[in-house]
């Protein structure tokens, strides 16, 4: 069941008004990570709540209590739960989005005021939150506007969950989802999250997998204070010598993880899966262009894409406590903490991989024969996720994408983590679809964040069409 042609025409005709709506949203600097802007996130919650009500959504703003940031206790901005449609013969789709944004200021290097949506002549709509994640949220409101104005019943029931703390680890959201599982979210059949990006700038995409994460700090200490390398060099066990030696034993130059058992948890790709990677509209040139250097680990496209999407990876991020400034300081740092993380893929779990890491580090540390002491801390973890991409939720999105974009979407997995995905998948136990609106070069957390006008407008059509296709595919 394609979306009504009248709806699609309406979206085109309302383009300026829809951009105006996004402009209003961007103008509220709802930066969740800066205490000074916290009232703006609350204002944004109120503004969005009113927008939803104006297009017929029943809402409630939910107080999520307080949290501590930089030693200050702050109120968590209220989340918004919404519902429209109660037809028990229809499927119920839960839509998630977040109305908070990353920090931004002109002095970071923006060409324009980040909180004034600026339309470039090439079609880019530039502003903080334009693509992450206000554009997609406004897309949903745009869809509802037509149905509300024309009194057209939606093809599905919709449940909304919009939060204002996504850029702050979604503080409070997990509890909310658990609490509302059998209340507000009761009867949800599938989830749709539009909060990531196409692989490239030309091909729409559906995302069915995310890597998980274990992030460690490997600390070595020994001296009671920082020492002078002239006075103590070659008299004591230096923590940096031990740490660098251990860090060098984690991953090789080809990206292979040297911790026994970690890579072994992943089986080879079957023919059907391999075909997915070979079909993706993404080349080695795309990878290297995005990285800004001719540094791909392989000349084989599927190998490189599988390195990102279906294999674990280990990165060394840096060292806390060592000398990091410019110049030539002759210090022997007393305590150094090496930061490294492993991206996980199913069937890996943070618990299983952490155990392998601990066993290996303990064993390698013992081999050093140093008198320094070692501590390994898990700073962060997230489970990996892979959805069934043959589910009707994905089929609906694929058909909708083909209808709007006349292209088969890339069926891809993200290398990074989007924790809320796990929250919904595991708490509600339904299929979750990541349906990106923006392009791979939108610069979500960077300066000059943008969404292209065509992505915003066609994306609005896509979201609406997807709902109609869900109604069809779910029955099939």
Question: Is residue 233 near a second copy by the rule CB under 8 A?
Answer: yes
**244 is an interface residue for a second copy by CB under 8 A:** yes
Q: Which residue lies nearer to a second copy by CB, 402 or 441? A: 441
Site for a second copy contains 375 (CB under 8 A): no
Going by C-alpha positions, the residue among 445, 396, 389 that lies closest to residue 416 is 445
Paired tokens of 166: 């996504």
> Could you say whether residue 275 binds a second copy (CB under 8 A)?
no
Q: Which of 320, 282, 325, 318 is nearest to 300 (CA)?
A: 282
74 exposed, middle or buried (CB, 10 Å; 0-12, 13-18, 19+)? Answer: middle
Nearer to a second copy, 140 or 216 (CB): 216
Work out whether 27 is an interface residue with a second copy (CB under 8 A).
Answer: no
Q: Is residue 253 close enough to count as binding a second copy by CB under 8 A?
A: yes
Q: Is 211 in the site for a second copy (CB under 8 A)?
A: yes
Q: Which of residues 291-350 bind a second copy (CB under 8 A)?
A: 291-297, 304-305, 307-308, 311-334, 336, 339, 341, 343
Residues that contact a second copy, how many (by CB under 8 A): 86
Positions in 376-405 near a second copy (CB under 8 A): 379-380
> Least distance from C-beta 410 to a second copy, angstroms?
15
Q: 166 catalytic, yes or no? A: yes
- Of 251, 361, 397, 463, which lies in the binding site for a second copy, with binding defined by CB under 8 A? 251
Q: Which two tokens stand for residue 34?
A: 């800066």
The CB-of-435 to a second copy minimum distance in angstroms stands at: 19
Contact segment (CB under 8 A) with a second copy among 32-40, 82-90, 131-139, 207-215 equals 207-215
The nearest distance, CB 246 to a second copy, in angstroms, is 9
Catalytic residue selected from 100, 167, 180, 449: 100
Measured from the CB atom, the residue of 40 and 343 that comes closer to a second copy is: 343
Distances (CA, A) of 437 to 14, 111, 427, 443, 457: 18, 23, 25, 13, 10
Q: How far is the CB of 112 from a second copy (least distance, A)?
A: 20
- For a second copy, the closer of residues 46 and 313 by Cβ is 313
Under the binding rule (CB under 8 A), the answer on residue 411 touching a second copy is: no
Q: How far is CA 89 from CA 82, 92, 143, 183, in A?
A: 19, 9, 21, 19
Q: Identify any residues that bridge with 94 across adjacent strands, giving them in sequence order.
A: 159, 191
Burial class (CB in 10 A: 0-12, 13-18, 19+), 446: middle
11-19, 120-128, 208-216, 351-359 -> range binding a second copy (CB under 8 A): 208-216
CB of 325 to a second copy, least distance (A): 7
> Which residue among 32, 102, 203, 372 contacts a second copy (CB under 8 A)?
372
Residues across the chain: 476
Q: List the interface residues with a second copy, window 29-48 (CB under 8 A).
A: none
Q: By C-beta, is 19 or 269 nearer to a second copy?
A: 269
Residue 415 makes contact with a second copy by CB under 8 A: yes
223 counts as binding a second copy under rule CB under 8 A: yes
395, 384, 473: which is closest to 433 by C-alpha? 395
Q: What's the CA gap between 96 and 104, in Å, rounded?
A: 23
Q: Which of 166, 242, 395, 452 is catalytic?
A: 166
Quote the least distance from Cβ 66 to a second copy, whole Å. 21
Instruction: Pick the stretch among 97-105, 173-181, 221-229, 268-276 that binds a second copy (CB under 8 A).
Output: 221-229
**Greatest alpha-carbon span in the chain:** 82
Q: Which is nearer to a second copy, 315 or 375 (CB)?
A: 315
Cβ-based neighbour number of residue 223 at 10 Å: 16
Task: Please state, in angstroms and rounded to a whole number, the distance separating the CA atoms of residues 210 and 119.
Answer: 32
Closest approach of Cβ 336 to a second copy, in Å?
A: 8
100 is catalytic: yes
Q: Is there binding between residue 414 and a second copy (CB under 8 A)? A: yes
Specify the residue for token string 């009504």.
4
Rounded Cα distance between 139 and 464, Å, is 9
Q: Of the two residues 158 and 213, which places its CB atom closer to a second copy in the complex?
A: 213
Least Cβ distance, residue 168 to a second copy (angstroms): 12
Which DSSP symbol is given to 369? -
Decide: is 235 part of the binding site for a second copy (CB under 8 A): yes
Nearest in space to 259 (alpha carbons), one of 359, 393, 124, 135: 359
Q: Please, what's the b/e burial string for 156-175 (b: 16 or more CB within 10 A of its CB; e: otherwise)?
A: bbbbbbbbbbbbbebbbbbe
Q: Is 213 in the site for a second copy (CB under 8 A)?
A: yes
Q: 417 Cβ partners below 8 Å, 6+ apart?
A: 210, 211, 212, 213, 343, 382
Contact (CB, 8 A) for 66 and 77: no
Q: Can you give the three-state secondary structure of 239-251, one letter per residue?
A: HHHHHHHHHCCCE
Q: Look-up: residue for tokens 């072994």?
A: 264
Cβ proximity to a second copy, 116 vs 324, nearer residue: 324
Q: State the nearest-atom distance from the C-beta of 365 to a second copy, in Å.
A: 11
- Catalytic site positions: 100, 166
């Amino acid at each position: 069941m394609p979306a009504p042609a009248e709806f699609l025409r309406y979206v085109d005709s309302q383009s300026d008004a829809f951009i105006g709506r996004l402009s209003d949203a961007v103008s509220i600097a709802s930066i969740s990570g800066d205490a000074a802007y916290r009232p703006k996130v609350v204002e944004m919650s109120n503004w969005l709540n009113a927008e939803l009500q104006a297009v017929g959504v029943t809402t409630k703003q939910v107080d999520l209590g307080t949290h501590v940031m930089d030693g200050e206790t702050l109120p968590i901005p209220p989340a918004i739960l919404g519902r429209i449609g109660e037809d028990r013969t229809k499927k119920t789709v839960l839509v998630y989005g977040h109305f908070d944004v990353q920090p931004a200021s002109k002095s970071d290097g923006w060409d324009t005021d980040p909180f004034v949506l600026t339309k470039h002549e090439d079609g880019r709509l530039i502003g903080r939150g334009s693509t992450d994640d206000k554009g997609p949220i406004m897309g949903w409101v745009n869809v509802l506007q037509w149905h509300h104005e024309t009194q057209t019943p939606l093809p599905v029931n919709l449940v909304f969950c919009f939060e204002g703390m996504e850029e702050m680890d979604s503080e409070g959201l997990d509890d909310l989802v658990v609490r509302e599982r059998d209340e507000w979210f009761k009867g949800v059949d599938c989830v749709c999250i539009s909060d990531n990006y196409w692989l490239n700038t030309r091909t729409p995409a559906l995302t069915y997998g995310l890597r998980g994460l274990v992030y460690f700090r490997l600390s070595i200490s020994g001296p009671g204070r920082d020492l002078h390398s002239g006075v103590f060099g070659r008299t004591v066990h230096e923590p940096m010598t031990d740490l660098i030696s251990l860090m060098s034993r984690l991953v090789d130059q080809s990206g292979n993880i040297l911790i026994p058992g970690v890579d072994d948890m992943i089986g080879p790709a079957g023919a059907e899966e391999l075909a997915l990677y070979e079909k993706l509209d993404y080349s080695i040139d795309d990878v290297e262009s995005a990285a800004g250097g001719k540094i791909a680990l392989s000349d084989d496209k599927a190998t490189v894409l599988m390195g990102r999407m279906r294999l674990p990876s280990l990165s060394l991020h840096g060292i806390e406590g060592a000398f990091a400034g410019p110049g030539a300081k002759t210090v022997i740092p007393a305590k150094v903490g090496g930061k490294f993380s492993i991206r996980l893929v199913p069937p890996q779990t943070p618990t299983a991989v952490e155990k392998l890491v601990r066993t290996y580090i303990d064993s390698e540390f013992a081999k050093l024969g140093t008198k320094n002491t070692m501590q390994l801390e898990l700073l962060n973890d997230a489970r990996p996720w892979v959805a069934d991409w043959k589910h009707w939720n994905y089929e609906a999105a694929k058909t909708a994408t083909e209808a709007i974009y006349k292209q088969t979407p890339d069926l891809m997995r993200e290398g990074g983590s989007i924790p809320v995905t796990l929250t919904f998948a595991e708490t509600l136990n339904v299929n979750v679809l990541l349906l990106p609106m923006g392009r791979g070069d939108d610069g979500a957390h960077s300066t000059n964040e943008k969404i292209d006008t065509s992505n915003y407008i066609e994306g609005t059509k896509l979201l609406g069409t997807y709902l109609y296709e869900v109604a069809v595919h779910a029955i099939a």
